[in-house]
Structure 1
Amino acid sequence: MTRHSKNCTASSVYSYNEKKKDAKASGYGSLKLLGKDGVKDFDCCSLSLHPCRNPVVTPDGHLFDKEAIFEYIISKKNEISQKIKEYEKQCKKDQRELAELGEAENRSRVENFLKTEAAVSSASQAAQGGPSTSAGKSGSSVSNMASGLDKKLPSFWIPSLTPGNKETKLQKPDKTVFCPISGKPLKIKDLIDVKFTLAVDPNDKGALDGKRERYKCPVTGDILRNNVPCAVLRPTGDVVTKECVEKLIKKDMLHPLTGAKLSEKDIIPLQRGGTGFTTANDQLMSKKARPVLQA
């Protein structure tokens, strides 16, 4: 088979390039999208996706609004406490069932002993020619509603009571609250207050959502944008550019505003990332499935 060029239209072979071109023009095939709407702004909360009013940052550099992250932690703690209550309830139920099983086993031993004694007594009386006591025994009931069996009957209209349903055992819940972005353990005391330096007029009381240039570096005066890597200084919470960190701060490891001594742990890189269909700093491409064009 001969090789066809990209713009070959006179051939009887429907080439891959032609198929791809027609699919793009006709709306068939997977559509790959990449837009700025899929990437959150650097100063926006990772949960609410709005500019932070009271920003805090985790030791890993993920930015949250204090109200949003506190609400998340409280809801997770309430969920964990509910799971702990259910687990404790299951443990008490297991202990009660074990106690009932032990009592039933003791009763069974007593009944077997009494039956054995009665059988020995009736055998001795029969040997002596006395009346048999076995004739007075009453037969056991064959009803499925006797001896408490009515409470154990399956219900075919309730999913949890069907014969095929098996009761699942709850595992002891973990009391640790994890970060919704990084998945690492998160505590309120680990959150660090962040202080952004406004690049607009301080007397302007308008909302920050509509402003493109909201903050600046307090040292160099550079405007902070999504494409400008930033870092948080732990002692004061000031947000500076990575360029300021590399060229100014790391020379003497001194805070440029207060003059205090800094360490490597005091410089927290501010994480930038995506939301929605994107993942943080990893993959910023969306793929939309469309009808496939058949050759």
Structure 2
Amino acid sequence: MTRHSKNCSAGAVYTYYEKRKDREASGYGTLNIRLSRDAMKNFNCCCLSLQPCHDPVVTPDGYLYEREAILEYILHQKKEIARRMKAYEEQRGARRKEQKELQRAAAAQDKVRGFLEKEAALVSRPLNPFMPKAATLPNTDVEQLGPSEGPLGKDKDKSLPSFWIPSLTPEAKATKLEKPSRTVTCPMSGKPLRMSDLTSVRFTQLDHVTGSERYVCAVTGDSLNNGTPCAVLRPSGAVVTLEYVERLIRKDMVDPVNGDKLTEGDIILLQLGGTGFAGSGGKLQVEM
């Protein structure tokens, strides 16, 4: 075994290759791997099912979905919003009922306190006209009539809850629910999404499918893949290359497939799948 071999056992240094080999064999430590092309979503696959689209639709932000998958997602979100709204309304009604009961209890306590004050104001001895009225009345401190009268009440307030006595065991209260939003959002961009915002997409298939190339530009005939920036024209739903859009379409703003006038909102940039070297579909931001 030579001195510079990867598996050199005579060296005094634990090399990086040996560390990585032992880490893979033991299963401990951090394992890094570079994602290949097979781990990335193709440009013609749904962002939810990750399968090739048979009836594709695109959102205004350029995310491609299978029509059935995105409609099922929107329906599920509406049901979930309705369930959360029902739970919120039930909790809100229970809190209102509890507040009414507390108000009734407070009103009853006020009546009892007023009755005790009137009873304490009744005296059996004659009043002295030369003394102030407050001096002739007995001690009518209402606070002494409360349940915390004497040192026993103070000790009871300062005592900690006990987990062994059922009456002193702390109870977990229900979490206060926030009012849910009624807006259905896109699963990829997080922006509001409606069914009317979806645009049908028509891919132009290659006459003779060879290898992984299956679709071409609707106008130029160039092959489309994950490395080719594409755009969807809203009036016709045709998929064209971004190079053709910048070179010709933006000059006349006319759909070359059906001849309709175009606006900036009618040109939807299609979000492509990423590679093993960079992230895709999100904003990478570093905060110091």
Do Structure 1 and Structure 2 share a fold, with TM-score over 0.5? yes
CA distance in 2, matches of 1:279, 1:83: 34
For the 8 Å contact 2:202–2:239, the answer to whether it is kept is: yes
Higher relative contact order (CA 8 A, sep 6+): 1
Q: Aligned pair in 2 of structure 1 residues 12, 280: CA closer, same or farther (>3 Å)?
A: closer
Q: In the alignment, residue 24 of structure 1 is paired with which amino acid?
A: R
Identity of aligned pairs, percent? Answer: 45
CA distance in 1, matches of 2:121, 2:252: 99
CA distance in 2, matches of 1:30, 1:164: 45
Which stretches of structure 1, 4 residues or longer, exceed 4 Å deviation after superposition? 9-13
Shift of 1:41: 0.7
Shift of 1:281: 4.3
Shift of 1:266: 1.6
CA distance in 2, matches of 1:57, 1:179: 11
CA distance in 2, matches of 1:236, 1:262: 10
For the 8 Å contact 2:226–2:273, the answer to whether it is kept is: no
Q: In the alignment, residue 21 of structure 1 is paired with which amino acid?
A: Y
**CA RMSD, 1 decimal:** 3.4
Is the counterpart of residue 182 in structure 1 residue 192 in structure 2? no
Q: Give structure 1 stretches of 5+ with no counterpart.
A: 128-139, 141-153, 157-161, 202-207, 284-295
Q: In the alignment, residue 108 of structure 1 is paired with which amino acid?
A: Q
Is the counterpart of residue 244 in structure 1 residue 244 in structure 2? yes
For the 8 Å contact 1:231–1:239, the answer to whether it is kept is: yes
- Choose which of 10, 13, 19 in structure 2 pairs with 1:23: 19
Shift of 1:73: 0.8
- 1:80 corresponds in structure 2 to 81
- 1:168 corresponds in structure 2 to 175
Is the counterpart of residue 194 in structure 1 residue 201 in structure 2? yes
CA distance in 1, matches of 2:270, 2:190: 17
Q: In the alignment, residue 256 of structure 1 is paired with which amino acid?
A: P
CA distance in 2, matches of 1:42, 1:269: 12
Q: In the alignment, residue 247 of structure 2 is paired with which amino acid?
A: K
For the 8 Å contact 1:200–1:215, the answer to whether it is kept is: no
Aligned residues: 235
**Which deviations, in whole Å up to 9, do the C-alpha atoms of 1:192-232 show, x marking residues without a partner?**
1111112247xxxxxx9x97333221211122212221110
TM (norm. structure 1) is 0.69
CA distance in 2, matches of 1:26, 1:200: 51
CA distance in 2, matches of 1:188, 1:168: 34
Shift of 1:86: 1.1
Q: Aligned pair in 2 of structure 1 residues 163, 274: CA closer, same or farther (>3 Å)?
A: farther
**Which deviations, in whole Å up to 9, do the C-alpha atoms of 1:83-130 show, x marking residues without a partner?**
111111111111111111111111111112223344455x53x98xxx
- 2:153 corresponds in structure 1 to none
CA distance in 2, matches of 1:78, 1:100: 33
CA distance in 2, matches of 1:255, 1:49: 30
Q: Give structure 2 stretches of 5+ with no counterpart.
A: 25-29, 127-146, 148-160, 164-168, 284-288
CA distance in 1, matches of 2:171, 2:118: 42
CA distance in 2, matches of 1:72, 1:10: 57
TM (norm. structure 2) is 0.71
For the 8 Å contact 1:44–1:51, the answer to whether it is kept is: yes
Determine helix, strand or coil for the equivalent of 2:268.
Answer: strand
For the 8 Å contact 1:38–1:274, the answer to whether it is kept is: no
Is the counterpart of residue 222 in structure 1 residue 222 in structure 2? yes
In the TM superposition, 1:1-295 aligns within 5 A as 14=13, 19-28=15-24, 30-120=31-121, 123-124=123-124, 163=170, 165-200=172-207, 212-274=212-274, 280-281=280-281
Determine helix, strand or coil for the equivalent of 1:169.
Answer: coil
Shift of 1:71: 0.7
